[in-house]
Structure 1
Amino acid sequence: MKFSFRPTEGAFYELFTSAARNLVRGTELLQELGLPGAEVQSVSERLTEVEHDSDQITHQLYQKINSTFITPFDREDIYSLGSLLDDVMDHLEAAGNLVYLYGLTSLPALPRELHELVNVLDQQAKLTAEAMPRLRAMKDLEPYWIECNRLENEGDQAYRMLLVRLFSGEYDALTVLKMKEVADELEAACDAFEHVANTVETIAVKES
């Protein structure tokens, strides 16, 4: 029988789970931007509120690290995972804010490929939110990081096709610049989800 000297105290796991659930809120708000008649300013403001919530969760996590003598797993890994979850939220908020600030919803329609990229992010967010509670037992996590990495590849493909669309001549040069900046933030969020999954894999391997 394997004995562990690590505590089973659940505050860290709860904070990771809360942070991941915030990411689901973030991707769902991004999806709202593509709906007919969406209140773009309201969506942008709510995204900012969710991002502030995520910052607060990250702050609580860091405080918990600094005030806990023995942590459930390596302090560096706890810090890294919390920071990476926060990074995802930063990219989601930036993308939503730019869509609003650049007035991109005044276009007849946002590119289909952009919606596909947001849909990939939504799948990654839900997958991550489902996985975080399983950190406590360190079980059944492999399917999560495998699928999250597969989705990142799918997101890369959607991003490339979006670039092809943007540079096809369909849009004027200024709109292309604005939309590419949004696309870059979405692609960065997709990559950041993969970084979260890779960190979870590293933690699981260390703790096995």
Structure 2
Amino acid sequence: MFGRLLPQEGRFFDLFNAHTEQIMLGAEALVALMAALNKPNGESAEYFEAIDAAEDRADSVTHETMALLHKTFITPLDRDEIHKLISCLDDIIDLIKGAAQILTLYDIRRATPEATNLAEIILSSCDRVRSAVRLLPSMDNGPAILKTCEEIDRLESDADRVMRGAMSRLFREEPDVRQLIKLKAVYELLETVTDRCEDAANIIEGIVLENS
């Protein structure tokens, strides 16, 4: 069993967990940002700052993981799996930051229901990525990990449906071409975050299937 294969450097799992905590902070701030945009005189600056801070801390975790990978002779997982997983986790928080930045860049002053819904799906997806990562050190958790990965896949499908509906409504109802272009970019970037969560789930699922 997988549990017998892990007498090696166990700090990789701690680093994965630390990274997913930053992903969650970023996702929570993104949802709060959407809510702030829809409040009269809502203060959104603190949520942009929170996302920036989470992304900075996640970058530090990624760099530490890569440094540890280079100096560790025997790793608990295949070296390529470690590299792929931490890189994919980093993509998630980078895209969350990107979504927040594009709201500022395009001067989006109100979050549409679809954008808010996508942010909430992102939060749920990130929470399940964190749960799957926490279970990784032991393949006794294999069935629970695979179930969590299936949930992430379903959430990505939900995000696809929301985005398709958002695009349909946008092209039917938005008369301002500039606003249409802005919101289209926002929707696409938000949906891409859920794609990266699904990518992380696929990597984790592969680890489970190869090591159980």
TM class by shorter-chain length? Answer: over 0.9
Deviation larger for 132-141 or 162-171 = 162-171
> What's the secondary structure of 1:104's corresponding residue?
coil
1:141 aligns to what?
A: 145
Question: Aligned in 2, Cα 1:141/1:16: closer, same or farther, shift over 3 Å?
Answer: same
Give the share of equivalent positions with the same residue, in percent: 30
Report deviation, 1:50: 1.2
- Cα pair 2:118 2:162 within 8 Å, conserved: yes
Tell whether 2:64 aligns with 1:60. Answer: yes
Q: TM-score w.r.t. structure 2 length?
A: 0.91
SS in 2 for 1:153: helix
Q: C-alpha offsets along residues 23-48 of structure 1, whole Å, 9 cap, x if unaligned?
A: 11111111112222432233222212
How many residue pairs get aligned? The number is 205
- State the match for 2:96 in structure 1: 92
Q: 1:7, 1:70 within 8 Å by CA — same for their partners in 2?
A: no
Letter in 1 for 2:31: Q
| 33-42 or 173-182, which deviates more | 33-42
Give 5+ residue unaligned stretches, structure 2.
Answer: none
Match of 2:27 in 1: 27
> Alpha-carbon deviations, 1:142-189, whole Å to 9, x = none?
111111001110010011111112212335111111111111111111
Q: CA deviation at 1:121?
A: 0.6
Q: Give 1:103's aligned amino acid.
A: D
Over aligned residue pairs, what C-alpha RMSD do you find?
1.7
Q: Does 1:78 align with 2:79?
A: no
Report if the CA contact (8 A) 1:6-1:70 is conserved: no
Larger fraction in helix: 2
TM-score when normalising by structure 1: 0.92
Contact 1:77-1:199 at 8 Å conserved across structures: yes
Q: Provide the residue aligned with 1:131 in structure 2.
A: 132
Give per-residue Cα distances to partners, 1:82-112, cap 9 Å, x unaligned. 000000111110001111222212x4xx221
